[in-house]
Amino acid sequence: MAPDYVAGGLYKPGVPDGGPAIPPDISALPEPVPRAEPRARYGNKSPYSVLGKRYYVLDSAEGYVERGIASWYGTKFHGRATSSFEPYDMYQFTAAHKTLPLPTYAEVTNLDNGRKVIVRVNDRGPFHEGRIIDLSYAAAIKLGIHVRGTGRVEVRTITPDGHHRRVADLPSGQSSHPRQGESPVRQVAEVAAADRVSVQVGSFREHDNARRLRQRLRDAEISDVDIDATRVDGGRIYRVRVQRVAGRDLQALLNRLAALGLSGARVVRE
């Protein structure tokens, strides 16, 4: 039986990774054009386990948005099979993600310099704590993170017609991330130690996606995780929240969520 996860999923210790001796001319490389594709035969098993952790593949990529740390992989895996059994080509704009369906198209934005790139997600990973996406070498160059090795990014999935279906485009109060100008640090500072608040980790149009995030949090031994459904613009939005968080425990919870790649959590006062 063929393995479910290879390339980005299995990192061989002691084998160094890096880029080619001569960097490619990124301006000559075309970005992928989002198109409707069937799910890959390989790489979409759910749940699956890597290094003792269980992961749940999302039923749909629609509306997905996440902020966190990106890394990249290069010569160590160039030419090897990805989790979807496509050959990894470090000169193409591709990426690895732990839970998005394979394949998925996404726009990745470097939050520090504003550079953007469209990638085709066809691999699993990264399985390093605190990282949300592993970019191909070419994508890392385009975003300007290839020298440092990591960078702060936003990942937004793209539908085949090119639209960015973002929960963050919902009316105020329904965003997956803190409001403009409201940092998690400021949120913590405004909560007294004796207060009890809720922490919204994500919002989804698809109930299954919310359910999978809830399970991911429970697998991380985060308790009191609920799904709150509300109606917005004639449709339902499913909000994943950690309930009844004491003010004195708030910073520790936000740190745990950030370590899971969920740095966009925000405090909600009912």
58: domain CATH number is 2.40.40.10
Please tell me whether residues 22 and 118 are part of one structural domain: yes
- Asked whether 113 and 147 are in contact (CB, 8 A), the reply is no
Q: Grade residue 178 by pLDDT with cuts at 50, 70 and 90.
A: very low
Q: Please check whether residues 98 and 227 belong to one and the same domain.
A: no
Counting other chains too, the contacts that 215-219 makes at CB distance below 8 Å and 24 or more residues apart are 215/56, 216/55, 216/56, 216/99, 216/260, 217/242, 217/260, 219/53, 219/54
| Greater model confidence, 40 or 263 | 40
Return d(Cα 193, Cα 20) in angstroms, integer: 52
> Per the omega criterion (within 30 degrees of 0), is the bond before 126 cis?
yes
- Which CA distances in Å does 152 have to 43, 110, 158, 167? 26, 6, 19, 20
The Cα–Cα gap between 9 and 125 comes to 5
- Specify if 2 maps to a domain: no
pLDDT at 227: 92
Compute the average pLDDT of residues 99-108: 94
Number of domains in the chain: 2
Q: What is the pLDDT of residue 268?
A: 77
- Please indicate, yes or no, whether residues 143 and 181 belong to a single structural domain of this protein: no
**Do 188 and 70 lie in a common domain?**
no
Domain that holds residue 12: 7-158
**Which pLDDT tens digit goes with each residue over 198-248?**
888 888 878 888 888 899 899 888 989 999 888 876 778 888 999 988 878
Output phi, psi for 61, to 5 deg. Answer: -90, -5
> What pLDDT is stored for residue 16 in this prediction?
62
pLDDT for residue 106: 95
* Measured distance CA(161)–CA(158) in Å, rounded: 8
* pTM given for the model: 0.59
State how beta strands 116-123 and 94-96 pair.
Answer: parallel
Q: Which residues contact 28 (CB under 8 A, 6 or more apart)?
A: none
133 and 15, same domain (yes or no):
yes
> Among the listed ranges 38-42, 89-93, 182-186, which one has the minimum average pLDDT value?
182-186
From residue 203, give the alpha-carbon distance in Å to each of 74, 80, 162, 176, 210. 33, 36, 21, 5, 7
Both 46 and 66 in one domain: the answer is yes
